[in-house]
Chain A
Amino acid sequence: LAKTTQPISMDSYEGQEVNITCSHNNIATNDYITWYQQFPSQGPRFIIQGYKTKVTNEVASLFIPADRKSSTLSLPRVSLSDTAVYYCLVGALLLTSGTYKYIFGTGTRLKVLA
């Protein structure tokens, strides 16, 4: 079963690029990696999803190496409003039952400073 770990916290300044890495050593062949952003007292919000190599959308990039045991969320030119907790999510297919479990990473608290 995939276990996901992330750095607990990171600080950055406005305008800088921020990279947050998630380790998921036991990711299964068919699992996708998804990243979410969460503000206080709100539900998580989708940022980006990928399976391998690099994915880019209008707000972020996601880098996944060939072994897929980790992934890196890249936020270009962060602003104060990007201060939030960032989670990776891995869906794990349980081969014994054919069912899924969804495992969130430990979360990274990003603080953007002026």
Chain B
Amino acid sequence: GAGVSQSPSNKVTEKGKDVELRCDPISGHTALYWYRQSLGQGLEFLIYFQGNSAPDKSGLPSDRFSAERTGGSVSTLTIQRTQQEDSAVYLCASSPSQGSNYEQYFGPGTRLTVT
């Protein structure tokens, strides 16, 4: 079946612009996760959703970052007033439910470059 998809695959934006990154999870997966991976670095957890609810937003790097999920499916990560330090690959994952005992299925990521 179809895996996790993300769009766009690449995004180049000017500093100060807003960007929206989209994630389509595997159908039926109730949990969805966002991570950030800076160039040559490890994976930084940002936020997770169980259904449409994100119970903890403290992992978002700043108040310029927000995320939402509608219909228990598609999620968008929005970055307002982008800065050069926001340049990274943003990875989305989904799992059948939320919990460390579930395998997370990752999308290919969106590479964001802020110039």
Question: Which positions in A face B, CB cutoff 8 Å?
Answer: 30-32, 34, 36, 41-46, 49, 51, 87, 89-94, 97-107
Hey, which chain A residues are within 8 Å of B71, CB to CB? Answer: none
* Nearest chain B residue, comparing its CB with the CB of A6: B42
Measured in the bound complex, the distance between the Cα atoms of B17 and A68 in whole Å is: 45
- B9 CB to closest chain A CB (Å) equals 10
Cβ contact of B56, chosen from A49, A94, A104, cutoff 8 A: A94
Measured in the bound complex, the distance between the Cα atoms of B55 and A30 in whole Å is: 19
- Determine whether B51 belongs to the interface, using a CB cutoff of 8 Å to chain A: no
Contact B42 A104 (CB under 8 A): yes
Cβ contact of A44, chosen from B48, B59, B99, B106, cutoff 8 A: B106
Measured in the bound complex, the distance between the Cα atoms of B98 and A70 in whole Å is: 23
Hey, which chain B residues are within 8 Å of A87, CB to CB? Answer: 42-43
Contact A46 B56 (CB under 8 A): no
Measured in the bound complex, the distance between the Cα atoms of B106 and A107 in whole Å is: 16
Measured in the bound complex, the distance between the Cα atoms of B38 and A104 in whole Å is: 14
* Nearest chain B residue, comparing its CB with the CB of A47: B103
Cβ contact of B103, chosen from A46, A94, A100, cutoff 8 A: A46
Contact A102 B100 (CB under 8 A): yes
Measured in the bound complex, the distance between the Cα atoms of B95 and A87 in whole Å is: 18
Hey, which chain B residues are within 8 Å of A93, CB to CB? Answer: 100
Cβ contact of A49, chosen from B55, B59, B101, B108, cutoff 8 A: B101
Question: Which positions in B face A, CB cutoff 8 Å?
Answer: 4, 33, 35, 42-45, 48, 55-56, 59, 91, 93, 98-101, 103-109
Contact B108 A43 (CB under 8 A): yes
Contact A102 B107 (CB under 8 A): no
Contact A102 B103 (CB under 8 A): no
A100 and B48 contact, Cβ closer than 8 Å, known pairs A43-B107, A45-B106, A46-B103: yes
Measured in the bound complex, the distance between the Cα atoms of B33 and A36 in whole Å is: 15
Hey, which chain B residues are within 8 Å of A89, CB to CB? Answer: 100, 104
Q: 14 other contacts beyond A44-B43, A44-B91, A101-B59, with CB at 8 A cut-off?
A: A32-B100, A34-B103, A36-B106, A43-B4, A43-B106, A43-B107, A45-B106, A46-B103, A49-B101, A87-B43, A91-B99, A91-B101, A97-B55, A102-B48
